[in-house]
Amino acid sequence: MANPKTIGVLLAGGLARRLGGGDKSLTMLGGEPLLARAIARMAPQCDQLILNANGDPARFKTFGLPVVADTIPGFAGPLAGVLAALEWVAANRRDVAWVLSAPTDCPFLPRDLTERLHDARRSENAELAVAASGGRAHPVVALWPVALREDLRHALTVEKVHKVGGFTERFSLATVDWPTEPVDPFFNVNTADDLAEAERLSKL
């Protein structure tokens, strides 16, 4: 069965404190920015990509993606980025009902992410679908219905829910597990040591 139209949002709204601040998504790995690697993985499996980032969008101009800032102030975490994406899609792509979120600091994202998450959502009749590897869920890598945007805005602004799992646990959730060999596809770069390990893994 063909998947419904899906917009991918690459989340780059964090502060990257453990890497010394600045734009983690522009950190170089194997001669290219982490963001470029995420785009290469995600673009073939989405109908369009957008970038969630705060501050001056001009610094991302060379990547050619719409840059969507958080609509909730104060760096409210990845859920705020997901909300910004859902609201952007509702306003700009009314033909699309689904958003796939992924962080820009995962350089080895699966190339079958959209397909497998949609398949699991359908087969389990679930409202959301989330990725996992090695038995551990990665709630920031998930498939979100655009129709959940009002629920998410209420959770963030009124209930002050900021943990992704604290929101997703309210809904029926399909979880899809990926193998971790030879590389965990959801390995993420948070520290200088992680970056060095990513360099090693990228050569496998």
What CATH number should be reported for the domain holding residue 42? 3.90.550.10
**Alpha-carbon distances of 190 from 15, 32, 106, 141, 186, rounded to whole Å:** 11, 17, 10, 16, 12
pTM over 0.85: yes
* Secondary structure class of 82 (helix, strand, coil): helix
Beta bridge partners of 128: 173
CA distance linking residue 77 with residue 156, whole number of Å = 10
Beta bridge partners of 138: 131
Per-residue model confidence as pLDDT tens for the chain (204 residues) = 678 999 999 999 655 554 445 688 999 998 999 999 999 999 999 999 999 999 899 999 999 999 999 999 877 789 999 999 999 999 999 999 999 999 999 999 999 999 999 999 999 999 999 999 998 999 999 999 999 999 999 999 999 998 999 999 999 999 999 999 999 999 999 888 999 999 999 887
Between β-strands 6-11 and 48-52, what pairing exists: parallel, antiparallel or unpaired?
Answer: parallel
Q: Does residue 1 lie within any of the structural domains?
A: no
The total number of structural domains in the chain stands at 1
- Identify the domain containing residue 111 by its residue range: 6-201
